Amino acid sequence: MRILLIADQEAEFKELESLVGSIEGGRHQLVWCRADIRVLQATPVTRFHLVLWGQVSDALASRRLLAELQRQKRDAPILLLTDKPPAGADAVACARGDSDILLRDQLTPGVLARAIRRAMAPRKEQPAPSQGVDPLTGLTNRSEFREQLDRILADATTPESVGLLLIDVDQFKKVNASYGQVAGDALIQLIAERIASCLSAHHALARIGGNEFAVVYQNALGSVESECRINLERIIAAMAKPFPVAQHAIRMNVSMGIAMNKEPGMSVDLMLANADMAMRIAKREKGSNYQFYTRDMTDAAQKILRLEAEIRRAIRNEEFVLHYQPRIDNNTHRIVGAEGLVRWQHPSRGLLPPSEFIAVAEESGLIVPLGYWVVHQACKGLNDLALKGFDEVQLAVNVSFKQFQDKNFVQTVANIMRKMDIHEGRLEFELTETTMMIEGQAVDQSLRRLSELGIDISLDELGTGYSSFAHIQRLPISVLKIDRSFVGSVTTNEDDATIVKAIINLAHSLNMQVIAEGAETAEQVSFLGKNRCDQVQGYFFSKPLTFADIKALLGQEDFVDRRIQSVLALG
């Protein structure tokens, strides 16, 4: 019989090896596995008939080791070795799947032999021991956590005596996209350990989603708010340190929302909904942040729901319009393209900018049908321009990360282009670094297919996201757009000037074009021209215009020349 010992020290292995070798009439082989998750992951547990659970000093490590045993689908029973069984040991052993508890000071070859025979005897099928445990982290899982919280809330008699903290790991998908799922799993385990290190023993920690954790605070005598705030600051400080994953030092942020039982009898669902609402508001800020739930948040959420309904109606009634901001070629001083920017012609509030509705459209998923409308309108505009003789002008539209989540995205775009007879190189899609990293491989594949359709791909807001230039080089990106945050201070901030020069040089070395957006002064345009930036876009030349106005502007051949004179005057 092959027996696996999981224990911290080799000394325990030596002692048990002697005992196992003294069992009469048995041929047993004992193998030691150090109580280290990485060692156990490399150990084929299914080859063993029995597991001996020795000294494992760290509680969190113990949970992770158990989860790994369950992940490997071991059928072997477990014998727990202990110096003194703690209170409730029978219940703990049962939950873990132990077959017996053995005291070290009473352990003899005969006692061990009898325990092995009992453990290996045919048993009635038992419920899965991992029912309430998350297999990756060893923490309580979502269903068990809900039951715990329900019991705690039912017993609470004092307002604000129970606090629920939800922790969401921001931009977690970029880790899976960049380094793979194994690295992502390792990161989740490290984050679980780090959060646990900030909590006290009486705090209930659970993993309730792929990258979401929950903590419950209790104080029968009064409010838990001050205790929550202390822990929140500890978690933020702990998360500021990099995580060693896949031979990289990865920095992660968390968004946290806290809700408290404002009155006795509060339900689990309402508590979770309130904490989730606060967490989503915290997520709007950069870095690790937290928010306590307030009633105003519910009022704001209801306002958002009303706005969603209005956006849905506006799409049906075609209340949206595209305005176009021209892009100027720095060499020919001609309008060579324009970026399409969506506006909402609201029936009562007038013309609304994207800041009034795009975030809600993205969060609700309405950005997908709105995005298809934008592509259709741009294609319609391209055909109209071609009829006027402007068949070399390119139109660009922004693409949201939500659109890449639609499995029919590329095919629908292909159908629109085929129906509108759009030729290669006339339509451009702009996407941000964040979009590229959030959806990862799905975006990579879609971009290649879109490029095959003849659509140019530009990377917007360069320098503000997470992408690496090695990643950019592998994708069919033909244009880099320098973010307005750099362009706006290019003549006053030496660091920004250096960054802009570096981006231009890098793009040209990769055979890409460069477009600078947000140019508002003659000095900025002059700087960009001297440093060989291919195209410029910004209020210096024109604000976004209606389609009728952009057509009229294209017909004014001296429009750019008049504006450029002030640039040339700078020398």
Residues 6+ away with beta carbon under 8 Å from 542: 325, 326, 553
What is the band of 94 on the pLDDT scale with cuts at 50, 70, 90? Answer: very low
Sheet of 78-82: strands edge to edge?
A: 29-34, 2-7, 50-53, 78-82, 98-103
Instruction: Name which residue leads in pLDDT, 64 or 374.
Output: 374
Q: Which pLDDT score, from 0 to 100, does residue 571 have?
A: 63
Stretch 458-485: mean pLDDT, rounded? 77
What is the band of 126 on the pLDDT scale with cuts at 50, 70, 90? Answer: very low
Residue 377, pLDDT above cutoff 80? yes
Cα-Cα-Cα-Cα torsion 447, 452, 453, 459, nearest 10 degrees, comes to 30
As assigned by CATH, the class of the 303-568 domain is alpha beta
Q: Which pLDDT score, from 0 to 100, does residue 98 have?
A: 53
Report the alpha-carbon distance of residue 206 to residue 144 in Å, rounded: 9
Report the alpha-carbon distance of residue 24 to residue 30 in Å, rounded: 15
- Measure Cα distances from 447 to 397, 399, 440, 473 in Å: 14, 11, 11, 13
Range ranked top by mean pLDDT from 93-107, 339-353, 435-449, 477-491 = 339-353
Question: How does DSSP classify residue 107?
Answer: -
Q: What tokens appear for 481 in the block? A: 């757009």
Flag the least confident range among 237-241, 271-275, 441-445, 458-462. Answer: 441-445
Instruction: Name which residue leads in pLDDT, 51 or 128.
Output: 51
As assigned by CATH, the class of the 142-293 domain is alpha beta
Report the alpha-carbon distance of residue 412 to residue 401 in Å, rounded: 16
Residue 359, pLDDT above cutoff 70? yes
Closest CA to 547 of 388, 340, 347: 340
Report the alpha-carbon distance of residue 299 to residue 82 in Å, rounded: 55
CA 100 to chain centre: 43
| Region(s) of the chain under CATH 3.20.20.450 | 303-568
In our burial notation (b when 16+ CB lie closer than 10 A, e otherwise), range 356-394 reads ebbebbbebebbbbbbbebbbbbbebbeebbeeeeeebb
Report the alpha-carbon distance of residue 503 to residue 343 in Å, rounded: 30
Q: Which pLDDT score, from 0 to 100, does residue 135 have?
A: 85
Report the alpha-carbon distance of residue 199 to residue 238 in Å, rounded: 11
Supply the pTM of this predicted model: 0.60
Return mean pLDDT, the chain: 86
Q: Which pLDDT score, from 0 to 100, does residue 322 have?
A: 97
What is the band of 471 on the pLDDT scale with cuts at 50, 70, 90? Answer: low
Taking a C-beta distance cutoff of 8 angstroms, is the pair 269, 214 a contact?
Answer: no
Residue-wise pLDDT for 476-520, tens only, equals 999 999 989 899 999 999 999 999 999 999 899 989 999 999 999
Cα-Cα-Cα-Cα torsion 359, 360, 361, 364, nearest 10 degrees, comes to 120
| Region(s) of the chain under CATH 3.40.50.2300 | 2-120
Architecture of domain 2-120: 3-Layer(aba) Sandwich (3.40)
| Region(s) of the chain under CATH 3.30.70.270 | 142-293
Phi/psi zone of residue 171: left (φ > 0), alpha (ψ -120 to 50 degrees), beta? left
Instruction: Name which residue leads in pLDDT, 201 or 552.
Output: 552
Report the alpha-carbon distance of residue 70 to residue 133 in Å, rounded: 10
Helices 367-387, 409-420: inter-axial angle, 10-degree rounding: 20
CA 507 to chain centre: 28
Flag the least confident range among 23-37, 196-210, 331-345, 482-496. Answer: 23-37
Stretch 521-541: mean pLDDT, rounded? 95
